[in-house]
Structure 1
Amino acid sequence: MTARGVRIVQKVSSARAFAKVAPHVVPALDRAVHRMTRGKVLLSARMLPGVILTCTGARSGLERRTPLACMPERGGSWILIGSNFGRPGHPAWTANLLVHPDARISWKGEEIPVTAHLLSGREREAAWRAVLAFWPPYATYQARVEREIRLFRLVRS
């Protein structure tokens, strides 16, 4: 994608209308395309790198699969951002990881067992700065909500 295209996508993704529509459309499309391509393609990964997170439901105990944007880090870890598209509540997958931090991700067609760590303090501050440099619209999402957006670091198990 061109630099101009990235700026346009960032502007659109920061809009309130996007926050209302995207949570209902983007994950469903991602799941369908991911399934059809046997884990090799995520549509949203055209804008941002993405994973399919498979974790255990906090209350149900059932397996939950969620397509998510991520920020890959050097050394083979990933940052997941619980922005919920700038909507008020924390996304359900964050509660799931708090209760059941052992999970799996599908990353570029590879299934990888991971452990999730909720970031806090200086570690979170450093990751948040990196996240904002990586995808500036997260600042808009944070400004819309009173809660602190949860950040998780996923490391290979």
Structure 2
Amino acid sequence: MSEKRTRSPWLPPRWFIRLAWKVHRGLYRLSRGRRGLWPPKGNRWGTLRLTTVGRRSGQERSVILAYVHDGPNLVTLAMNGWAAPEPAWWLNLQARPEASATLVDGQRHVRGRAAHGAERERLWARWQELDKGLDGFAARRPGQTAVVVLEPSPDQARN
């Protein structure tokens, strides 16, 4: 089932969400990558550090995202803290799909794309298992939240 328009669960103020992101990234940097990332376990998502190339600046940009595994792929949501605009990392990935994902066990070269149709429905349902309020949070956004699949790049798949 796709995103239902339901009553939105409570979210902290936007300034608090942005501060939490900055603190998380700072913890990752200060610990030189030893803290801030974790693998998905059981019915809990993990975190990864995605590095894209800025669509306008051409410079590397990194963000820490929640993810789940789907076979060899990593799956995340382009939600921007449930705010209306698309997250910059997703806009960058659409312009240049090649990126790198750093996980607890190392770095992977990936190629990002949006899931569509039955694949999107299946992956959205997986995220719903992890977050019962997912549809309510998604209802805060004016459009459909992209389910982003990070596939191993062809070079990595050969190794």
TM-score of the superposition, structure 2-length normalised? Answer: 0.79
> Which string of whole-angstrom CA distances, capped at 9 and with x for unpartnered residues, describes residues 45-76 of structure 1?
89741111100112221110011111223x33
- Distance in 1 separating the partners of 2:106 and 2:37: 17
- Distance in 2 separating the partners of 1:140 and 1:44: 26
5 Å matches for 1:59-98?
59-73=56-70, 75-98=71-94
Partner of 1:21: 15
Instruction: Report if aligned partners of 2:37, 2:104 keep a CA contact under 8 Å in 1.
Output: no
5 Å matches for 1:129-140?
129-140=125-136
Q: Which residue identity is paired with 1:21?
A: W
1:42 aligns with one of 27, 36, 51: 36
Partner of 2:156: none
5 Å matches for 1:118-133?
118-133=114-129
- Distance in 2 separating the partners of 1:37 and 1:72: 25
- Distance in 1 separating the partners of 2:30 and 2:86: 29
Q: Deviation of residue 136 (structure 1)? A: 2.4
**Unaligned residue ranges in structure 1 (runs of 5+):** 1-13
User: Larger % of helix: which?
Assistant: 1
Partner of 1:53: 50
Structure 1 vs Structure 2: percent identity of aligned residues? Answer: 24
> Which string of whole-angstrom CA distances, capped at 9 and with x for unpartnered residues, describes residues 53-103 of structure 1?
100112221110011111223x33211101112211111111111111100
**Unaligned residue ranges in structure 2 (runs of 5+):** 1-8, 154-159
- Distance in 2 separating the partners of 1:64 and 1:25: 18
1:32 aligns with one of 7, 26, 43: 26
- Distance in 2 separating the partners of 1:53 and 1:155: 13
Would the alpha carbon gap of residues 130 and 119 (structure 1) be closer, same or farther in structure 2, given more than 3 Å must change?
A: same
Partner of 1:149: 145
TM-score of the superposition, structure 1-length normalised? Answer: 0.80
Question: How many aligned residue pairs are there?
Answer: 142
Would the alpha carbon gap of residues 129 and 78 (structure 1) be closer, same or farther in structure 2, given more than 3 Å must change?
A: same
CA-based RMSD of the aligned residues comes to 2.2
